[in-house]
Structure 1
């Protein structure tokens, strides 16, 4: 039995968001793992003029390519990529689904406010250059178009109904300190997905970029354990 694994990054992101997990899995499995860049995304954002249908189509073509060579397909989606992953899982009846900080419904204004206050405090102390969240999102905020934000919202709106059609085993992992998607989003996904085999895990030290969080090793071990089950 051969296994293919598709990983899908988030809105305004790049494959780097999931790369630590990809590297971990590649070192411990013989799977073929694909981690494509969605149109307009990557380290140099160029989102203007790109539609959410392109993002879904790019992930779908990568999936179809994997399906040509492998008996089983696992799919891992981060943030918006989680919603695209759920859609593809429902459409193609894939074998296992992992949702990381999946952007199903909510934005955590309270945690976002805490993150902003932390950035202000670091700026006041003259150490803003050491604030990882600030460094990661500084360029994104400058390069993200309002049009693209609407495309993100449309992507979530389009994919959300497909949660009801996911039947395979599902692992949902969420950071307790996520400033973009709070913990109640994971509970929402658990409620909406009818799979008989579901597991929800909260990581106490992780923010939105969960594969780069302080407890990422726990995340890696949980994902490998989940996908290795018979």
Structure 2
């Protein structure tokens, strides 16, 4: 049996990776696991939650798959991509997929464009229709400073892991991502020890790469990479 662990991002939920998880369920008989990291989900409760708890949660889900399946893959989105890399360096994972992985974060050029669009929607009294504003408004209000520091600790733990990874890796990055800049994907690509590594830029995709841009093309590329 093949198992696939999908890990969502910081202040996120399985929603972020659900379209890809559903695609894999529809096209395979794999066992797909999509855990909710502590303090995350549709209602955030991140106060006093440590990055160790996030790592332990993802690792527990991975160990369960490794116990049940002969072959295991990991897909990680944003901070989940960093957790996925950290785990891949420590466990017998066969392939790794990193989506919008936040080794570096905040793309000032795209943020400027997104803010410009929000201001325009505000003037036209359509801000309540701006999906980016609606999705991140609550996150900004509900994310304590301590949680942001825990996220930074995950980044610090993941970066040294890149050079320890030698399994096949597929990296995908949206060209219109306002959270993670394009250079993050290139940074990860250069530091991997993997002989097989792929770097794909999804045209016009924003940070939520499984929900924006040409998702069908992205999902097909991920599926082909994992299936070959």
TM-score of Structure 1 vs Structure 2, range by shorter chain: over 0.9
> 1:40-73 deviations in whole A, cap 9, x for unaligned?
0000000001000000000000000111110110
Q: Is the 8 A contact 2:104 2:183 kept in 1?
A: no
Q: Does 1:202 align with 2:176?
A: no
Q: Is the 8 A contact 1:93 1:167 kept in 2?
A: no
| TM-score relative to the length of structure 2 | 0.98
The answer for unaligned runs of 5 or more in structure 1 is: none
Q: Does 1:23 align with 2:22?
A: yes
The answer for unaligned runs of 5 or more in structure 2 is: none
3-state SS of 1:174 partner: strand
Structure 1 residue 106, shift from structure 2 partner: 3.5
Q: Is the 8 A contact 1:50 1:148 kept in 2?
A: yes
Structure 1: 4+ residue segments shifted above 2 A: none
Paired positions, count: 228
3-state SS of 2:89 partner: helix
**Aligned residue in 2 for 1:37:** 36
For residues 129 and 34 of structure 1, the distance between their equivalents in structure 2, rounded to whole angstroms, comes to: 33
**Aligned residue in 1 for 2:115:** 116
3-state SS of 2:74 partner: strand
Q: Is the 8 A contact 1:5 1:76 kept in 2?
A: yes
3-state SS of 2:93 partner: coil
For residues 60 and 69 of structure 1, the distance between their equivalents in structure 2, rounded to whole angstroms, comes to: 14
**Aligned residue in 1 for 2:80:** 81
3-state SS of 1:13 partner: coil
Structure 1 residue 93, shift from structure 2 partner: 3.0
**Aligned residue in 2 for 1:70:** 69
For residues 22 and 228 of structure 1, the distance between their equivalents in structure 2, rounded to whole angstroms, comes to: 14
